[in-house]
Structure 1
Amino acid sequence: MTPQASLVPFSNPYDASLPAVNQSNSKGALTGRLVLDYKIAPDILAYASYSRGYRSGTFNGLAYQDISQVYFVDPEKVNAYEGGLKTRFFDRRVQLNLAAFYYDYGKQQIAQIIGATSFLRSANGRVFGAEAELQAEPFDNLHLNAALGLLNSKYKGNSIDPADPANTTININGNPFPNAPRTTFSAGFEWTMLRTQANDGKIVLRGDTQYMGRYYFDPFKDYGQDPCDQPKGGSMVLSATPEMACGNPSYWLVNGRLSYETKNYSIAVWAKNLTNKFYYTYGLNLNAFYLDYFNRGSPRTFGIEASVKF
């Protein structure tokens, strides 16, 4: 292996001579939760809830370039409304849960890294969606599960400059929340293929799959780039690489596991990401340093696992 290194020019280095900053602030809020439920039938429960959430205010303390970067960030508040059904059918072999929700965010706290400095911002937004969860046991040795999530998120009336928190030059109104795909889906099964009476052992096959729709890594979505894979000219921090601006494409993951299990021990072979799908789990715009940072999801992995219970 040949070691490699490079130097990245940066025009606003850390200034050790910056004076100390002394600030204080005080905020408070009333929070709580109200839940109403009603049994429509012995195995059908309807419910509705309202809750008020609160995240305390803070100071942007990771300032390296100027004391003006140390400022108070207002508390985050959310009004959450949810309603749904919890049901069981066919001698309780099938369980189906349905839910719909609406979250109204006020001054949501957003982290944004510019150069060597991390900024906290406040933005208003809303989220609404629906979820469905299914559990079924059609036979004694077979268990099935599935879940579907639909989500619509967007910021409301906010403008934030990714280069300078004192200015408001990029309109994020209508942009989706970070890491908020519109559609998610998962399904799986667990099949006990064989049972042995001699030592209470069993052979179990498990499989599952997950779908993740496209999502973006920060509030700036495509950074105003049209098309998203064509960075704009000018200041580097006002643009983004195609991987950052176009978001993480939708993807499927498939996993499997085969095990022999007894009361006291088990041995299994397993595999994750069987199709070796390439995807990212996290992204950060660091174009002030002429790069972006990404965490890649795990590639295809497999192994053998053994356990003993005493």
Structure 2
Amino acid sequence: MGSRWLGYSQDNLSGKIGLDYKLADGNLVYASISRGYRAPSFNAQAFFDPSELSIAKPEQVTSYEVGAKTQFADRKVTLNVAGFYYDYRNQQFINVDPASAAQTLLNIPKSRIYGGEAELTIRASDRLTFHGGMGLLATKIQRGSVSGVNVAGNRLSNAPTLTFNATIDLTVFDGGMGKLSLHPDVAYQSSQFFEVLNVPRLRQSSYALVGGHIDWESADGRFNASIWGKNLTDKFYFTSRVDLLAGFGFDYNHIGIPRMYGVTLGAKF
């Protein structure tokens, strides 16, 4: 049974159709088509101007995905891969007016996203394991305007083209003195925009974050200690940026965490 809310229909029919096929060697391939839905939304961030009292149309995305889940070398190597295509209609987002800071809830009528991702785990031995992941992403607004500007052809916000992460779990020793293990990690992402106007000044360039931890646990499991660090190269980067230059003379930025390190101690009683 349908209903009406402030002039926008909330009627929706969503679902998923999928096919899984298990190969003779135990590996799995799959394909699916699904549709997601987000109801009409009222702007709860209306603080500065009556124009902020806006309503967004319902959002809908149709997803097409294919992939495989595989294991090799006597299950020592696990590889999962997937490819996807998203057809977005009326994607909802908040637009901030750089002159007044007014926040309006808008729709992007049509956009598309496609890409792929892979996850790899290699158990080289009982003491050494490698974990890695990679994502490829291509986004494009196919139809839409923001603040009177045609944004067709622009990239969607918060959508780096390439992401990558890797972690190593290495047990140095495990015996009467307890267990000592090393866990270095790195995470990389390519450049991205934080808004759909794709303002060059607000673009975040690519960066990598290096971290890790060294763990020790007593032989009886009662005591443990960890030395950890994040962003060890002290990379300066932004997690979000908002254009307020025209009205306020500055950009509103959120900055990522700087270099952090510490020690954690634990005991079980």
The AA in structure 1 aligned to 2:189 is: M
Asked if structure 1 preserves the Cα contact closer than 8 Å seen for 2:54 and 2:104, the reply is no
The AA in structure 2 aligned to 1:219 is: V
Tell me the alpha carbon deviations over residues 78-116 of structure 1, each in whole angstroms, 9 at most, x when there is no partner. Answer: 001110010001111110011000001000001112224
Tell me the alpha carbon deviations over residues 169-225 of structure 1, each in whole angstroms, 9 at most, x when there is no partner. Answer: x111111111100000111100000011x37x2000010111110000100102xxx
Q: How does 1:149-298 map to 2 (within 5 A)?
A: 149-161=135-147, 168=148, 170-196=149-175, 198=176, 201-222=178-199, 228=200, 242=201, 244=202, 247-262=203-218, 263-287=221-245, 288-298=247-257
More strand by share: 2
Query: What number of residue pairs does the alignment pair up?
Result: 259
Asked if structure 2 preserves the Cα contact closer than 8 Å seen for 1:64 and 1:116, the reply is no
Task: For residue 155 of structure 2, give the secondary structure of its aligned residue in structure 1.
Answer: coil
Tell me the alpha carbon deviations over residues 237-277 of structure 1, each in whole angstroms, 9 at most, x when there is no partner. Answer: xxxxx2x1xx1000011112111113222101111111111
Q: How does 1:26-105 map to 2 (within 5 A)?
A: 26-63=9-46, 67-105=50-88
Q: CA deviation at 1:61?
A: 4.8
TM-score using structure 2 length: 0.91
Asked if structure 2 preserves the Cα contact closer than 8 Å seen for 1:43 and 1:89, the reply is no
Tell me the alpha carbon deviations over residues 144-187 of structure 1, each in whole angstroms, 9 at most, x when there is no partner. Answer: 011111000011121211xxxxxx3x111111111100000111
Asked if structure 2 preserves the Cα contact closer than 8 Å seen for 1:154 and 1:174, the reply is yes
Please give the alpha-carbon distance, in whole angstroms, between the structure 2 residues aligned to 1:111 and 1:31. Answer: 25
Please give the alpha-carbon distance, in whole angstroms, between the structure 2 residues aligned to 1:285 and 1:271. Answer: 32
Q: CA deviation at 1:72?
A: 2.7
Task: For residue 184 of structure 2, give the secondary structure of its aligned residue in structure 1.
Answer: strand
For the pair shown, the structure with the greater C-alpha radius of gyration is 1
Please give the alpha-carbon distance, in whole angstroms, between the structure 1 residues aligned to 2:52 and 2:182. Answer: 55
Task: For residue 139 of structure 1, give the secondary structure of its aligned residue in structure 2.
Answer: coil
* Structure 2: stretches of 5+ with no match in the other structure: none
* More off after superposition, 272-281 vs 258-267: 258-267
Tell me the alpha carbon deviations over residues 105-156 of structure 1, each in whole angstroms, 9 at most, x when there is no partner. Answer: 0000011122242101100211000111100111110010111110000111
Residues 65/211 of structure 1: CA separation in 2 closer, same or farther (3 Å cut): closer
* Structure 1: stretches of 5+ with no match in the other structure: 1-21, 162-167, 223-227, 229-241
Please give the alpha-carbon distance, in whole angstroms, between the structure 2 residues aligned to 1:144 and 1:103. Answer: 31
Runs of 4+ in 1 over 6 A off after TM superposition: none
Residue 245 of structure 2 corresponds to residue 304 of structure 1: no
Q: CA deviation at 1:62?
A: 3.9
* More off after superposition, 70-79 vs 128-137: 70-79
Please give the alpha-carbon distance, in whole angstroms, between the structure 2 residues aligned to 1:179 and 1:189. Answer: 27
Asked if structure 1 preserves the Cα contact closer than 8 Å seen for 2:8 and 2:57, the reply is no
Task: For residue 85 of structure 1, give the secondary structure of its aligned residue in structure 2.
Answer: strand
The AA in structure 1 aligned to 2:256 is: G
Please give the alpha-carbon distance, in whole angstroms, between the structure 2 residues aligned to 1:190 and 1:99. Answer: 25
Please give the alpha-carbon distance, in whole angstroms, between the structure 1 residues aligned to 2:55 and 2:255. Answer: 34
TM-score using structure 1 length: 0.79
The AA in structure 1 aligned to 2:183 is: R
Q: 2:107 aligns with which of 122, 137, 143?
A: 122
